[in-house]
Each structure stands twice: as structure tokens, then as C-alpha cells.
A and B are shown apart, each in its own frame.
Chain A
Amino acid sequence: MWKVGLYLTKNLCSPSNYNINTSLREYAFKSNLKIKWIRPEKIPCQKPEKSGDLQKIGDVDSKGFPLQFSDSQELLDADEMVKKMFSLGFLPRKYSTQVLRHEMVCTVQRHHLDFGSMESRIASMTSIIRNWQELYEQFPRNKKLNVRLKELIDKRKKFLKYLRRWDYKRYEWLLSKLDVVYHPPPNEFRRVTRKESLCKLTDKYCNDLKEQRLKQYKATLESQQIEFLRDKIKLAIQIRTGTDKSLKEHSAALLRCGVVQCGVCSHQFPNMHGNVR
């Protein structure tokens, strides 16, 4: 019973709550500021927005030939039907992806036999990742593909991390060539909770409020400054041009002490060394 009494007295004593019927709960605090929190949408890490791929894999020439027959002269002289049969448009998807992968690696490799250097490996991984991302969009129930895709993305991120450590210039050049974005991992991995996010938002709100009010106060003080300087100039002109000797002597004495008297309202201001902005 004594707790209820305390609770009622608390209610009555606070100047804002004169209505006795209002309830003040002591759990699950809800502030009066009415800050709206929008939970960010969870984007799966296999999607290109999260994995860092800004471009989709390019379209392959449907009349082109697979890698194995790229050098053959007989295909070029063959019949149209034969050419059609061997063209990438009529062959399984595997052959077009091979061609695209080879093309991507060719844009980055050091020499025509370089498939082992860091940049060529990352390039081949990016082409596969982009291809699988498109495939997964078409067939979202292929979970094994999803798992492989996620693992490949993580591997590429790891390789980029190593390359950044070993050769920063090459790493930057590679990011620009392949159109890949690299984000470092966050220091903490915590669940996004309503309480924590609202706490951060209220802190932000309070800091913004403080800054805004300080700005306002500064503006008012600066506006006062202009008037004061104007009066000071007037006084100075008066002193130099005027014939009142006593005023001159008095103001000279005050200047020596570091005080200036306004001739209009006889208010004493500290000497600002005559800096007119």
C-alpha cells in the first residue's frame, strides 16, 4: 500500500500532471518526443546490392562460338546450319558463361597464360558470382546454388582483403576495372533492436537541438555586435572631430584603461581594438 501512496504523491507533486487519472508506468519507457524508427529492410547477402557488384554480367554474342572453337578456320567456312548448331545461342548456358569468364579474366590478366595471379582469380570469381546471381533470380528454390554463391562471395571478399594488404594500388585498380565495391566488416555484430536504435536516434535528436540553439544564440550575439561597432565608430568620429575637450580627455583615459563609452546611451563596452568586420 505504501508504494501506491508514493506513486500518487509523485503524480500530484509533478506540475505537469494535475490530472490524477493519468498513469505513469515504470517499465517499457516511451518518450514524448515521438521519434519514428523505420527498421531497415533486410537484404540477403547474395544479392548484388550487398555483395558489391554494381554491374550485371554482359550479354554474350549469340552467334559467337565457344572457347574451344574460337581458333578454328573450318567453322568459319562451314555451312550456315552447322554454324548455327555450334553458336552460343543454341548451346547450353555453360559455354556462354565460359566465354564471359574468359573475357573478364582477359581484361585483368598480366599475360595470356596468367590464371593464377590474384587479379585474374578475383575476376573469374566475379564473373561466376554475377552469373549465379542471375540464375538464382530465375530459380530461387535452388538452395545449393545459393549456398555456393554465398560461399564464393565470402571467398572473393577475403581475397580482396588480402590484396588490399599486399598491394593497395593494384587493389584499387582492380575495384575500378571490375566495378566491385568493398566494405570492411563492422567491429561489432549485434542484432538491430528497437530500444537501441531509438536510444541512438534520441541522442542524435538531442545533439541536433543543442547545436541549433547554440547557433541561434550565436546569431543574436553577432547581431548585437554590429550595432555596438556602429556606435563605436560614431563615437570615435565624434571624438576626433569634436571640440569638446573634456569629452576627449575622458574618452582617452577610458581607452587607456581598456573601456569605451557609447556616446548615445552612455553604456560602457570593453575595448574591442577597433576590428570592424
Chain B
Amino acid sequence: MASSSSSGLTFKLHPLVIVNISDHYTRVKSQLSLPPSLTSTSSAATSNNNNNNSNGGENNQNPPPRVYGCVIGVQRGRTVEIFNSFELIYDPSTRSLDRSFLEKKQELYKKVFPHFYVLGWYSTGSDAQESDMHFHKALMDINESPLYVLLNPAINPAQKDLPVTIYESELHVIDGVPQLIFVRSSYTIETVEAERISVDHVAHLKPSGGSAATQLAAQLTGIHSAIKMLNSRIRVLHQYLVGMQKGDIPCESSLLRQVSSLLRRLPAVESEKFQDDFLMEYNDTLLITYLAMFTNCSSTMNELVDKFNTTYDRHSRRGGRTAFI
């Protein structure tokens, strides 16, 4: 069902959407399973609890609840940018979508974010299912080709890739019958500067100290980890290429083409104007440093002069002059 998409649209996903979906899912999950500290009167809940404890906290007997919601954003030309999301009421057993709720929510969000409109919907689970197509079709009257964002909430520590997939729907002719099927699309993560800082802040729980030393340390750690990541990626590419050269790995020309185009793009910017602008910025920063040093020096000098005046006071003769002679 999931082949790669051919619509040619590029998708950009903001981290806020991911955190939103995860929060929605966690809330639903924690409402359904009571914390072990609370004793519950209903026997079903206690048996649920006991089972939970014996299975090491995993909901084995009940499949994890699925949550549904809507994603909003903007589409500019061939780029689709997903900014935000909100939850929806959907009953999978009766397959009914609460329309009035959706409209109300849309209105509310329109007031605060007037540029965004409904781009599609989201849900949690491990793979796209047939039943999802009904929801998808239901949304088609709001947006002719909605997106389906799927988040896999299973925490797998061995996983390296983000468990989020974006599906589009395409009309394929299968056995002579035109059917809508889900096709996977690739996406990139896009952040606004403030978003990146707050995500970084929460992810690494950086110390929010005021001193310059902690700030410097935090800044350098950030840059260091990013460079480390770049280094490891380049190493992987290098090993792959060496392997290809030796003949261990079959040659793949498309990949080779991409690598060579990447290399040809370095050096990225070498024009005269760039050098000039860069040096100007550099000089500005040096100037500010110089001014700050100056202010620091004059303040220290001022303190020194004051202390000097207080100690060697001309008007009082109390032991000031003796040390000087």
C-alpha cells in the first residue's frame, strides 16, 4: 500500500506538530490507565492495573488507544508547510466524524492564525490501515488532497529514525477499478529560530544560568554536537564510497551523482561581496567588544579613584597622609 509518492510536493514539518500529537496521545493513554498510587473502586480498573504492573507497565491486553486530529498549515506553490495541529472527535466504530466540532475548532484557530488552513489529519499507530481511508475521504470535502500524518507511539530505543510518516492519497487503477491508496512521502523538519531554541532547551534541559560561562558552555555544546553529527554523517558517506570503490557494494549511480553534486557545491560562497559583508560583521563585533572593554576599564578606574579618594582624604587628617610620606 505504501509506495513512494509521485506528486512532487515537498513537505516541511514543524516540531510543534510532533510534540502536539505526542501530548494528545499521552493524555489519552494516562486517562485510561490509572496511576498505581490511586486505589480505584471499580474492579475492571484494578485488574487492568494489576495486569499493567505484571507486564512491566505495558498495555498488552488493550491495544494502545488511537487518537485523531487535524493538521493545519500553509501551501505555497509546491511546498506544503505543516505548522500546527488540533484534536478531533472521531468514533472509529461508527466511523462518524464530529463535523460541528471540526468547524468550531477551525473557526477558533482561524481567528488566531489567519493564514493557516486545514491541510490534512493525523493519527497514531504503527501502519496505515484500510479503515483510515474513510477518515481520509471524509476530509476530502475540506481539502481536495489531504495529508495523513502517522505517528508511531511505540518507544523503540534501537530506532534511529523519527517514527513519523506522511502519506498522500493517489488514485491508482488496481484490477481495473480506480482506487485511492496511501503513498508515502518524504518530508523535512523545518524550524523557526525560536522553535529550535525552545525544542533544544526542553530536549537537553540546559541550565538557564545568567553567568557568561554557562552561556558560552551551552552555546559551544550545541555547536559541538551539531558538528559531531556532521562529521559522523560524512564518515558514513566516506565508508560507503570506499566500499563501492573496492567493489564490496554494488555501484549505485544515482547516489554517486548526488555525492558529486554535493562536493561540487563546496566552496558554497566565494564572491567578493560575501567576503566584504562577512568582514564588516566581524569588525562590528570586534568594535562592540572593544567598547565593552572600555566601559569595563572606565568603571574599574572609577571605583579605584573613589577608593583612593576615600582613603587619602585631603580634608580629614586621620591617618591618611602618614603612609604616603
A in complex with B: no
Which residues of B pack against A, CB within 8 Å?
none
